[in-house]
Each structure stands twice: as structure tokens, then as C-alpha cells.
Amino acid sequence: MASGAANLLFVAPAVALFGGFVLFPLASAVYYAFTVWNGFSPPQWVGFANFQRAFADLTHLFAYVHVTLYILGTLVFEVAFGLMMAVLLNSDRRGFGVMRGMFFSPMVLSMTAAGVLWAFVLDYRTGLLNATLRAIGLDAFAQPWLSQSSTALFAIMIVSGWKFSGLYMVIFFAALRRIPRSIYEAARLDGAGPFAQFFSITLPLLRQNLLVCILLAVTGGFAGFDLFFILTNGGPFGATEVPATWIIKQAFDQNQLGYGTALTVILAVVVMSVAIAYLHFSERAHVTRY
Amino acid sequence: MSHATERRRTPGEWLQLAVAATVVLAMFYPTVWMVLSAFKSNREIFAAPFGLPMDWRWENFAEAWEVGGLGELYLNSVIVTGTAVVICVGFATAAAFAFTRLEFPGRRALYRIMLIGLLLPPPVVAIPLFSLLRDLNLLNTLWALILPGAAWSLSLTVFLMSSYFNSVRPDMEEAALLDGANIWQIFLTVSVPMVWPAMLTMVILNTINIWNELIFALLFITDEDKRTLPVGLVRFYGYHSTDYALVFAALTITTIPILALYFLLQRHVIAGLTATAME
């Protein structure tokens, strides 16, 4: 429409706020990452020492193992489960609209509320899960889900699935609605059963949505903090320590803000490289396919 | 549903209904359990975890409200969320208007820079943000949550508002320009009413995100009377983790209004929360 520097006034407030509270801290993070700094006395330049320490810090390395397992878990319990429920809840019949609404509802709860609620659900003595297992005669399966290393990470994946699968269900459901019914009818006439229809029609047509959902789950998973903080805070014995919880502990419990910042820089680089590699790879796969 | 078909269900549809209903009810049960337990005494929660309360102890809620200082937490959350959302959506709409409708030096570069936040998880700048807020003397004030909250929501909001502007042809704005209106008049009287539905979706999306924000609220606020709901709830759980009835009552008070609002405005809320993935 019009042109000129006066138009900058429209973007100035957003750019100023973004510059001050996103870009400036980001730039200073890169500087602090190369310093030893307790938050009170001025930071002292130490070169790559923090990064050398980070790659020798076993808890930090294991945090990436845990978060990778967690992300794989969320791909199953959030994305795949959400897709399954979208297919299952895709019907105009009475009651299905209400069921979709109920299935999505954990999404609007805060992470805190969901976390505290599930701390009670998973409690060994009085939790809902163990009470249900005991009520149906499966006493042997009742266990202290969050306080033993072998099940804690798995339990958090389940909570995450409960909280977020509704999001993926709604995304896939909206996409399913755009697939013309005539395709399914033609397939049915050719003798394709429900599973053949799912794998040869639904899944290929949802490919683009699936790629977006996987990207959301992966980038969101790396930054996962809230549920871990509330349910286990990294425990028991570090079994659920993930990058975000470890960073906060180093920086704010140990007052090692320089080291903590170096860990955040590593996290940012990891998340961005995975996202960019994933986008690059999925675009290439798309090209070779057609 | 109004357009529910009324022909008889096939066996396959009965199976679909049975499986779907089982899963959905199992998923919804923890929420129901939370509300029912909020009315029970601690002894009853342990002795009879299933089923309705023997007598409905409404006094649990009054106690939780009093003990947890929930009124103050609610007020702080409302102030932080309301202010941050107005700032973020207002700034982002003006910026998206300029990025898609106007020409100015550095337009493309600035737009790209604004989108950096899309891939960055907020914990990444928590530490430098902490020292910045301390230098500005904003730690332990609600501004320590409002300004970073609004700034971190800008990337997504600018991106989604810009794609909404791009999906609407600039015909009306051009007509207003021919009629002699200046850019500010066009923005306020033509563009804003035109993109109002998208702004509403952004308000819902950002309200939910900022209302639920935990990590900044945990690090930047230490005074008890400045806390927001999520942190207040975590602390409350920490102090009273053995008083189940009290924690359930607090959980119920803080989640039921949001759930009720959701079931009322379901369509808009879902549109807001899925806007990221749909674009």
C-alpha cells in the first residue's frame, strides 16, 4: 500500500519488546555461557571450560538419554494414540461430539493442575491407579510408579499422553474431515477392510499433518520441564533428570549461572538442529516420493 | 448433535462406540475422581476411593480457599494474563498489519527475526532474563511475568496474524486509501474489524499459555503475595501433600472454572489451541 520509514511505527512496539526480552537475553546467554558466574559478582571469562565440563557431566548426558526416551514415548502416547482416537471418534453419530470434547478437556488444564492430580493418581498407597488395579484383582501390578527408577519415566510419559493426546486427536480429526467419503466407499467396494483402508488411504493422506505433529512433539519434548518438576523433579536417583530440570538446578540451586547458561545454549542448538534436520529430511522425502 | 444420522447402527458402529466410550471414560475419570474426592474427608478418600461422597463436605472448599490464599493467586494471575495478552495481541496485530500491508526498510529481515522465537523453548533464556529483570529492578513484581510473557508470545502471534492478513485480500483497505483515509485510520477502522476473529483466537491461545506459565513464575517471583496460580498450586501441594481433601478442593476450585469455560466456548478454544499446527 504505502511505503516509508514512518510505517516502522507499526512494528516498533513489537520489535522493541521482542528485542528487549527475547533477543537481548539470547545474545547475553551466548556471552554468559563462556563465563563462570554466580549471579552476584561479575562474570569471569573462562573460554570453553563450561562446554568441556558439560560433555563430561554424566547427569547432563543421561538427561539427553532420558529426554530422547521421553520423546519416543510421547510419539506413541500423544501422537499415535491421538491419531487412533481421531479415527475412532470420527463419526456423526449421537454422543461422539461430546466424547471428542471430553477427550480434549485435559488440554485446557494447567500443567500444574495436571501434574498435582496425577501425583495423587499414581500414589502408591492411595492412588487411583493402584486402587483400580487392586479392585480388579491385579494387586501384583500395583507399584510405587513415581518413586522407583524403573517406572518413573514411563509414568511421566503416560501423564503426558493423558494431557496432550487430545491436541493431536483434534488436529488429525480436522484433517480426516477433509478426506472425501467417496474414496472410502470405492475402497470398500474393492473389498478393503478397515485396516487396509487406514493404511492405504487415511495414513498417506494425513502425511503432512503427521509430519507437523511429530515436529511439535519433538521440539516440545526437548524443552519438557513442568511435569518433570512437579512429579519427580528429576528423581528417583536421577532417573527422570532431563535437560531443563538439570539446567534449573545448576543455575538456581547451585548458583552456577554460567554453567547453567552453557547447558541452555547446548539445548537450544540441539533443538534447532533437530528441527532443521527434520524439516530438511521430511521435505526431501516428500520430493522423492512424488 | 443436530445433524446426527438416525439410521440404525451396524455391528461395526456398536463396536466403535463401545471402544471409544471406554477409552474416553477412562481418560475422563481422573477429573471426575478429583472433583468427587474434593467433597470427601481424608479418611473416606483412603477407605472408599471410588463412588460418591457419603456427605458432601462443601467446607473443604472454603478451607482450601482460606489456607491457600487462592483469592490472591487468582487476582495475580488475572492481572498478569490480562495485561500480557492485551500487550501481545495489540503489538502483534499492528506488526502483522505492517509486515503484510506496508512497505518499509528492513521489512523482510525484521519479520524473519521476529519468528526466531518459534523454535526456541523459553527455558533457554531463563537465566539471562533473570539477571536482566534484576538489573531493571523488576524481579518480584508482576512486570517480571507480564513483559517476558508477552514478548515470548509475540513470535507465534505475529506469525499467525500475518498468515491471516495474507489470507484476506487488501481490497477494503485499498478502497479506504482511495477515499483519502490515512494509514492509522485504515488500520483502526478497516483492518482491525476485519481480522477481529483471528485476534480473538490469539487472545484465547495466549490466555491459556500465559495463565498456565510455570517456569518464569517459579524463578522470577519469590514473594508469596505476588505468586500466580500455577506456582501457588505447586507450593500448596508441597506444604499439604498429605491432606488429600484440601489439595483436591484447591485443584477443583482452580480447574472447574476453566473446564466450564472450555465446555461453553469449545469451538473457539479448540481453534485457538490448534492454531499452531493448522497453519
How high is the pLDDT of residue B262?
86
Q: Report the alpha-carbon distance of residue B73 to residue B70 in Å, rounded.
A: 5
B123 vs chain A: nearest CA distance in angstroms? Answer: 7
In chain A, what residues touch B269 (CB-CB under 8 Å)?
A: 108
Q: Report the alpha-carbon distance of residue B184 to residue A48 in Å, rounded.
A: 50
What average pLDDT score do residues B226-237 get?
A: 92
Q: Report the alpha-carbon distance of residue A52 to residue A262 in Å, rounded.
A: 10
Q: Name the grid cell of A242.
A: 532431563
How high is the pLDDT of residue B125?
85
pTM (whole model) above 0.80: yes
Residues 103-132 of A with CB under 8 A from B: 103-113, 115-121, 125-126, 128, 131
Going by their DSSP bridges, the two strands A44-45 and A35-36 should be labelled as antiparallel
Q: Name which of A232-236, A279-283, B66-70, B144-148 the model is least confident about.
A: A279-283
How high is the pLDDT of residue A125?
83
Residue B263 CA, chain-centre distance (Å), reads 15
Residues 216-245 of A with CB under 8 A from B: 216, 219, 222-223, 225-226, 229-230, 244
In chain A, what residues touch B98 (CB-CB under 8 Å)?
A: 7-8, 10-11
Judged by CB atoms closer than 8 Å, whether chains meet at A3 and B1 is answered as no
> By three-state DSSP, how is residue B103 classified?
strand
Judged by CB atoms closer than 8 Å, whether chains meet at A11 and B104 is answered as yes
In the structure, what pLDDT confidence band is assigned to residue A290 with cuts at 50, 70 and 90?
very low
Buried b (16+ CB within 10 A) or exposed e, B23-33: bbeebbebbeb
Q: Name the grid cell of A267.
A: 539445548
Longest Cα pair distance anywhere in chain A, in angstroms? 76
A3 touches chain B (CB under 8 A): yes
Residue B193 burial (C-beta neighbours within 10 Å; 0-12, 13-18, 19+): exposed
Q: Name the grid cell of A125.
A: 498407597
- pLDDT exceeding 70 applies to what percent of chain A? 96
Contact B124, A267 (CB under 8 A): yes
pLDDT in tens, A113-151: 999 999 999 988 888 899 889 888 888 888 899 989 889
How high is the pLDDT of residue A289?
38
Cell 500455577, located at residue: B230
A193 vs chain B: nearest CA distance in angstroms? Answer: 11
How high is the pLDDT of residue A94?
87
Residue B223 burial (C-beta neighbours within 10 Å; 0-12, 13-18, 19+): exposed
> By three-state DSSP, how is residue A162 classified?
helix
Q: Report the alpha-carbon distance of residue A241 to residue A239 in Å, rounded.
A: 6
pLDDT in tens, B94-120: 999 999 999 888 899 999 999 888 878
Name the more confident of A81 and B244: A81
Backbone angles phi, psi at A45, to 5 degrees: -65, 130
Query: Tell me, what's the ipTM?
Result: 0.88
Side chain identity at residue A126, one-letter code: T
**Of B147, B118, B134, nearest in space to B222 by CA:** B134
Mean pLDDT of chain B: 88
| CATH architecture under which domain B65-278 falls | Orthogonal Bundle (1.10)
Judged by CB atoms closer than 8 Å, whether chains meet at B17 and A95 is answered as yes
CB contacts < 8 A (A, B): 295
Domains along chain A? 69-255 (1.10.3720.10)
- Say if residue A287's pLDDT is above 70: no
In the structure, what pLDDT confidence band is assigned to residue B2 with cuts at 50, 70 and 90?
very low
Q: Report the alpha-carbon distance of residue A29 to residue A138 in Å, rounded.
A: 51
How high is the pLDDT of residue B39?
93
Instruction: Determine the Cα angle at B211 with ends A14 and B191, to 5°.
Output: 40
What average pLDDT score do residues B83-102 get?
A: 96
- Say if residue A260's pLDDT is above 70: yes
Secondary structure (DSSP) of A81-99: HHHHHHHHT---STTHHHH
> By three-state DSSP, how is residue B85 classified?
helix
Mutate to test the interface with B, among A110, A111, A165, A270 (most CBs of B within 10 A): A110
Cell 528492513, located at residue: B106
Mutate to test the interface with A, among B6, B83, B124, B278 (most CBs of A within 10 A): B124
